[in-house]
Amino acid sequence: MRSKAEIISLLENPGIIAVIRAHRADQVIPLAKALLAGGIIAIEVTMTTPNAISAIKEACAHFGKAALIGVGTVLDARTCQAAIDAGAEFVVTPVLKPEFVPLAHAAGRAIMLGAYTPSEAQRAHEAGADFVKIFPADTLGSAYIKAIRAPLPHLRIVPTGGVDIHNVAEFMKAGCAALGVGGSLVSSKILQEDNWTELENKARLFKESARAAKGLA
């Protein structure tokens, strides 16, 4: 099993976390294969995916260390523990749930707590969150992240909602640790058509944009 430090490192490099809201559980494996082929290893399977826990367990068994499978949209402690037991290596919640921190850390997993305001972001950090998910980020933009990090540079911020290929560089240069990318990467159209070739191509573009913004390309 990977250490928490290794998980954190993989989430930050290249820094694109694919947020998966699959229409069917059987889409998760081919979807993840396409993302991996495009260079994105961090895959967040949200609890809005049908039979999400089973899908996470299957994906973890199928890919092993080739992928970093996590769980998203976690709203209660029972679901948090079930996902960890299924193999999820990181846990993401869109809201401030400090009670998830000991559950994740006891299992050596990374935890990302949701926040919207600077006060909530700092509370998440003080609770022990490895990352702070700023959500929804679409109405806030990269300038908001930069403003938060001026007095709070210790925060590992991951904006989610509104991140697309055109603003990856802006968010990265604002000091984000990683970016949660949902519909602009894994679109409804791709899911409706099972178009994994298009997904692989989009994943590659996001990866390259993130690496270039970090000066890694």
Residues classed as catalytic: 44, 133
Beta-carbon-side half-sphere exposure of residue 22 (alpha carbons within 13 Å): 26
SS3 content of the chain, % helix, strand, coil (to 5): 45, 15, 35
What is the C-alpha radius of gyration for the chain, rounded to an integer number of angstroms? 16
- Of the candidates 130, 128, 82, the one whose C-alpha atom is nearest the C-alpha of residue 102 is 128
Which residues of 73-213 form beta strands (DSSP E)?
A: 90-92, 110-115, 131-134, 157-159, 179-181
Sheet-wide strand order for 42-46: 157-159, 131-134, 110-115, 90-92, 68-72, 42-46, 16-20, 179-181
59/44 Cα distance (integer angstroms) = 11
Do the Cβ atoms of 101 and 113 come closer than 8 Å? yes
186/203 Cα distance (integer angstroms) = 9
Question: What is the total residue count of the chain?
Answer: 217
